[in-house]
Amino acid sequence: MLRKTVENAALVIGFSLLFGIMLGGESFRSSIASAVNFIFAPLAEAIPFYMAIFVMATVTGLYAALIQKYTINWEMMRKVQGRLREFQKEYKEAMKTNNKYKLKKLEEERAEIMQIQGEVSKQQFKPMAYIAILSVPLFMWIYMYMGGHDFSIVVPFSGTIDLKTKIVGPIQWWFIWYFLASMPVSQMIRKVLDIGGA
């Protein structure tokens, strides 16, 4: 009962943060960033900012992987993914050979397959809220902190680039650096923890 209450509370907080950054405006984002400033500012002041982002990307990669490991039933996911692949292969073959009997049989199975896909989506959806509780404040803080400072990074073939430089739309270089830093770390953590599909 207590676990269910905590899970529901975490889901509400996580999705509130996700919707808050989209609908709450600049004041909401600034409030979130200010609330966590005491956690992240010492790190940013101790080492170069691009390295601070790398450390944050590593930490977020670790907790995201741990959350996924313990909130998703990976054995069920692997079985479901295998079943979906098998269904798609059979359906493609039946379409190719115009096997009407097989197609009719597969159409009868489609409802069950749709239900299975819904279960997979539900399994993948829940960790998003938990991850948002930690990731959204971090991103809001980086965005706020960057506003008051000038940081740069040396990029191959491009030279020195201001981390506030926009790439596409509102996406700035610091986010690209965060993403590039987190990818190999996340993959390594996921491999060690045996997280992922078949």
pLDDT 10s digits, 138-156: 888 988 888 777 888 787 7
- Provide the residue count of the chain: 198
Percent of the residues in the chain that have a pLDDT greater than 70, as a whole number = 94
Closest CA to 56 of 153, 195, 177: 177
Write the pLDDT tens digit of every residue in 162-191: 888 888 877 888 888 888 888 888 888 888
pLDDT value for 187: 84
Q: What is the mean pLDDT of the chain?
A: 81
Confidence of residue 196 (pLDDT cuts 50, 70, 90): low
Q: What are 32-83's pLDDT values in tens digits?
A: 888 888 888 898 889 988 889 889 888 888 888 888 888 777 777 778 888 8
C-alpha to C-alpha distance for 113 and 13, rounded to whole angstroms: 32
pLDDT value at residue 198:
45
pTM of the full structure: 0.70
Between 56 and 115, name the one with better pLDDT.
56
Strand extents, DSSP E, 73-127: none
Task: Tell me the one-letter amino acid at 107.
Answer: E
